């Protein structure tokens, strides 16, 4: 009996149409599908590990010591002055943990503070005019506001919580 094998390019095309939740069942079909499935799982695990490693810890607002014997090295990484990744982590933390009703008003609150220079206030107000109204804002709008206006760690710590 001759065994019929489907060419790899066709198998790749078929694999792209398989639903993600069904891929674990398809790995039992043959070696090719099993190989593709294990590669897929390895990529997922790599992404999950990086998010676990670089997430802002829950103890961020409590300072670097939550208990007398516990020191979190991630907080030192976050508070490094010349670290581009740290501002991204802090913005993510604010977007996930900050109360949403305060987050919707955050752009106006930040623009109306007295510590800002007049140029910075004008820049923020120009961006706010282009944004949607407070009631229709989502976390995506606030994230874009923070990213586009390059909100710094100093501004977040001074005006935030």
User: 87 Cβ partners below 8 Å, 6+ apart?
Assistant: 152, 153
State the pTM of this model. Answer: 0.57
Q: How confident is the model at residue 73 (pLDDT cuts 50, 70, 90)?
A: low
pLDDT above 70: residue 158: yes
8, two tokens:
């790899």
With CA atoms as reference, report the closest residue to 87 among 108, 56, 58.
Answer: 56
Q: What is the per-residue pLDDT across 108-124, written as a single tens digit (0 to 9) for each?
A: 888 887 666 888 888 88
- Which of 12-26, 37-51, 109-123 has the highest average model confidence (pLDDT)? 37-51
Residue with tokens 């990529």: 43
DSSP-assigned letters across all residues of the chain? -PPP---HHHHHHHHHHS-GGGHHHHTTS-HHHHHHHHHHHHHHHHHHHHHHHHSPPGGGGG-S-SSTT---HHHHHHT-TT-HHHHHHHHHHHHHHS-HHHHHTHHHHHHT-TTS-HHHHHHHHHHHHHSPPGGG--HHHHHHHHHHTT--HHHHHHH--
pLDDT above 60: residue 55: yes
- Which of 25-39, 42-56, 129-143 has the highest average model confidence (pLDDT)? 129-143
């Amino acid at each position: 009996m001759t065994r019929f094998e489907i060419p790899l390019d066709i198998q790749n095309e078929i694999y792209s149409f398989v639903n993600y939740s069904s891929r674990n069942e398809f790995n039992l079909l043959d070696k090719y599908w099993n190989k593709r499935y294990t590669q897929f799982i390895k990529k997922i695990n790599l992404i999950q590990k990086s998010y676990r490693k670089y997430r802002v810890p829950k103890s961020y607002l409590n300072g670097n010591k939550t208990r007398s014997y516990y020191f979190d090295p991630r907080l030192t990484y976050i508070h490094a002055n010349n670290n581009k990744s740290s501002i991204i982590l802090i913005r993510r933390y604010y977007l996930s943990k900050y109360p949403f009703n305060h987050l919707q008003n955050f752009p106006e609150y930040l623009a109306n503070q007295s510590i800002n220079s007049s140029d910075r206030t004008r820049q923020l107000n120009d961006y706010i005019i282009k944004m949607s109204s407070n009631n229709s804002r989502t976390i995506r709008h606030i994230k874009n506001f923070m990213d586009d206006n390059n909100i710094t760690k100093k501004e977040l710590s001074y005006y935030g919580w």
